[in-house]
Amino acid sequence: MPESNEREYQVVYEINVSSHFDGAHRLYDYDGKCARVHGHSWKVDVRLMSDSLNEQGMVCDFHDLKKILHDVVDDYDHILINDVEPFKKLSPTAENLSRVIYERLVTELENAGLTTLLAQVTVHESGNASATYYENQRADR
């Protein structure tokens, strides 16, 4: 059988939006300065991916996604994050924040009728430190 020069690939569209909030936290069971209350200007990046576009030629309307993200992160703005569930017991690390925000976004996107794949959430606690959460898609699903 002759070898084909054609490559097989899957088309993927990706969109990104960002938001921010200013909030304080302290880390539990941590031996260091971060065990004390301190604040950050947090930045949250969200990436959605899809193999198709809607009727308007979009993965999702940026305006809609920005509003959903803003509504989620607004719950952490100008507060002590440790005072908000699930962070009363769960240490509010950038890693945990990225997962909790991801899970909330999945719910909010579904509620808005947006079945687009949420690819990942990255939480920056500073200009040079961030944590990203995403869920790998298994082939057997």
Domain contains 40: yes
Percentages helix, strand, coil for the chain, rounded to the nearest 5? 30, 30, 45
Whole-model pTM over 0.85: yes
Active site residue 34: yes
- Summarised one tens digit per residue, pLDDT across range 51-96 is 989 899 999 999 999 999 999 999 999 999 999 999 999 999 999 9
**Catalytic annotation, pick one of 20, 34, 95, 108:** 34
Q: In this structure, what CATH number is given to the domain that contains residue 64?
A: 3.30.479.10
Which DSSP category does 80 fall into?
A: B
Among residues 14, 38, 78, 110, the one annotated as catalytic is 78
- Give the pair of three-digit tokens for residue 135: 């869920």
- Report how many domains make up the chain: 1
Verify whether residue 125 is a known catalytic residue: yes
